[in-house]
Amino acid sequence: MTTVGTATLQDWIGRFSAAVAEKKDWLTELDSAIGDADHGANMSRGMTAVVEKLGDTAPATIDELLKGVGMTLVSSVGGASGPLYGTFFLRTGMTAGAVAELDGAGLAAALRAGLEGIVARGKPEAGDKTMFDAMAPAVEVFENGVQRGIPLAEVAAGAARAAEAGRDATLPLVARKGRASYLGERSAGHLDPGAASTALLFDALAAAIAGDS
């Protein structure tokens, strides 16, 4: 497969929602260590609202699909992660545009724009112990793989592994953004909850793309 269509991306959203629901308690446990114990609830409430809103509809274009996801997340999730993930999907959709499918380069550019949306909104930098630390390496691996002409399913699998490695690398970090930063040095020794949900996001993308090839 060399392109990704609206149906595959809708499958991505469904798989992410299911993963977040399945890992809700774990995400909450991570957030209870260095935050306010609501990341699992926030993400599962948001993604449940997204899937309900999508219902049986199949949006014709990628921007319609992803902008809808972003708007639902912004409006249904209080807390930092709602506007951050919401902006990610809004920017990803805007950059994809009113098309029914994207090639690898188009998907890479859309994901890059989503990441930049998070940066514009939350100002995270590498090593701040946030979702950025899982997403930035995933997007980079995605871009590099596409540039080297690697099959898209392999590229997406590599990006998912990069997100997981980025998540795991947040363990020793001292948080410099978000609620966890209030803990200072005591935030070290725990995984960042947002980086954990971002790894689920890229796992879901890899599974959706693999499912099609």
Phi and psi for 57 in degrees, rounded to 5? -70, 150
**Which range binds Mg ion by CB under 5 A, 23-31, 70-78, 104-112, 128-136?**
23-31
What burial letters (b/e) apply to 91-123, b meaning 16+ CB within 10 Å? bbbbbbeeeebbebebbbbbbbbbbbbbbeebe
Residue nearest to ligand ADP (CB): 194
Does 35 help bind Mg ion (rule: CB under 5 A)?
A: yes
At 144, which helix (H) or strand (E)?
helix 132-147
Does 40 help bind Mg ion (rule: CB under 5 A)?
A: no
Q: Which residue, 32 or 48, is less far from Mg ion as judged by CB?
A: 32
Q: How near is the Cβ of 142 to ligand ADP at its closest, in Å?
A: 19
- Which contacts qualify for 16-19: CB closer than 8 Å, 24 or more apart? 16/47, 16/200, 16/201, 16/204, 16/205, 17/44, 17/47, 17/48, 17/50, 17/51, 19/200, 19/203, 19/204
Q: How near is the Cβ of 153 to Mg ion at its closest, in Å?
A: 33
Q: Which residue, 67 or 177, is less far from ligand ADP as judged by CB?
A: 177
Does 158 help bind Mg ion (rule: CB under 5 A)?
A: no
Q: Which residue, 100 or 123, is less far from ligand ADP as judged by CB?
A: 123
Sign of the torsion formed by the C-alpha atoms of 131, 75, 87 and 179: negative
Q: Which residue, 7 or 174, is less far from Mg ion as judged by CB?
A: 174
Pick the binder of Mg ion from 11, 31, 133, 143 (CB under 5 A): 31
Does 63 help bind Mg ion (rule: CB under 5 A)?
A: no
HSE-up of 21 (CA within 13 Å, CB side)? Answer: 13
Does 78 help bind Mg ion (rule: CB under 5 A)?
A: no
What are the residues binding ligand ADP (CB under 6 A)? 31, 35-36, 38-39, 42, 79-81, 84, 118, 122-124, 130-132, 177-179, 192-195
Question: Which residue matches tokens 């953004």?
Answer: 177
Site residues (CB under 5 A) for Mg ion?
31, 35-36, 38-39
